[in-house]
Amino acid sequence: MRKSIIGGNWKMNMRASSAKELASALRPLGSGDCEVVLFPPFVYLKDVADAVRGSGVHVGGQNCHSEPDGAFTGEISAEMLKDSGADYVLLGHSERRAYHDGWGESSSWINAKLTHALGVGLKAILCVGETIAEREAGRTNDVLGGQLRQSLAGISAERTIDVVIAYEPVWAIGTGKTATPQMAEGAHAFIRGVIGRMWDEGIAQQMRIQYGGSVKASNARELLSQTDIDGALVGGASLSADEFAAIVKAAK
Ligand code: 13P
């Protein structure tokens, strides 16, 4: 039985006081059956880690570099995240794959980050997802398969226990358009099949796959009741304590 996992990706939101307030309000969520991970902006990571310490709620970074130290202005290493109280790192979010003209993150760089982060002892949530143009061209499975194979290349079977996949269709992020539960389940089952072919069926059955894209309290239960949906990665709705708590409650 896979343990459900709900992530709150705060993206570039909050200030120190509101971050601490929200994290404190979410402390009770750490004592349930579902794993809860908060991804605040880097500058508030330590404050949030302090606010949830001892509650069972985990904290993660929204990204990290593939090197431990060096002349990489503006970057943060996996070692720094760990040092600041993070257990998790979010990697390959579509906003990082797509934005930043000219240097959108490639799956090969994401693979280097993932390999390094796991080596440091962080757990990782790896995001994959297709754009609307790719879905309409019937390329969803090709895109997901390619992102998974490249991003996960060379990860040993033993380390896969520390990897969670987040399926986030790009067209559903922040748009209010959620994939139907059937559409999401189809993609999750496909992803589990790819994992099975990359390693084996045992690892495929053990790996947790979250859905992300306009998840709210009102649609969480139906999405989370699908066989291959093991949790949610929540953006906008994770900024409200009541809304996020209701999503966690809906997790199986
Ligand atoms: P929204 O829930 O705001 O659509 O964001 C999803 C997301 O990108 C989580 O990583």
Query: With the CA atoms of 88, 92, 93 and 97 taken in that order, what torsion angle do they form, in degrees rounded to the nearest 10?
Result: 150
Cα–chain center distance at 236: 14
| 183/162 Cα distance (integer angstroms) | 26
Q: Is the CB of 212 under 6 A from ligand 1?
A: yes
Q: Distances in Å between the alpha carbon of 31 and those of 45, 56, 170, 177, 232? A: 21, 6, 32, 31, 18
Selection from 182, 196, 96 nearest residue 145 by Cα: 196
How remote is the CA of residue 125 from the centroid of ligand 1, in Å? Answer: 14
Q: Indicate which CATH number applies to the domain containing 150.
A: 3.20.20.70
Q: Is the CB of 124 under 6 A from ligand 1?
A: no
How remote is the CA of residue 106 from the centroid of ligand 1, in Å? Answer: 20
Question: Residue of the nearest CA to atom 1 in ligand 1?
Answer: 235
Question: Residue of the nearest CA to atom 7 in ligand 1?
Answer: 235
Question: Do the beta carbons of residue 210 and residue 250 sit within 8 Å?
Answer: no
Question: Residue of the nearest CA to atom 9 in ligand 1?
Answer: 235
Q: At what angle do helices 241-250 and 217-224 cross, to 10 degrees?
A: 20
Q: Which of 88, 131, 170, 173 to mutate to test the pocket of ligand 1 (most atoms within 8 A of CB)?
A: 173
The residues that are catalytic are: 93, 168
Q: Is the CB of 168 under 6 A from ligand 1?
A: yes
Work out the angle at residue 12's Cα, subtended by the Cα atoms of residues 116 and 181, and round it to the nearest 5 degrees. 80
Domain that holds residue 149: 4-251
Note the residue count of the chain: 252
Question: Do the beta carbons of residue 7 and residue 233 sit within 8 Å?
Answer: yes
> What radius of gyration do the chain's Cα atoms show?
17
* pLDDT tens across the length of the chain (252 residues): 899 999 999 999 999 999 999 999 999 999 989 999 999 999 999 999 999 999 999 999 999 999 999 999 999 999 999 999 999 999 999 999 886 555 688 999 999 999 999 999 999 999 999 999 999 999 999 999 999 999 999 999 999 999 999 999 999 998 888 889 999 999 999 999 999 999 999 999 999 999 999 999 999 999 999 999 999 999 999 999 999 999 999 996
| 98/103 Cα distance (integer angstroms) | 8
Q: Is the CB of 236 under 6 A from ligand 1?
A: yes
What total of structural domains would you count in the chain? 1
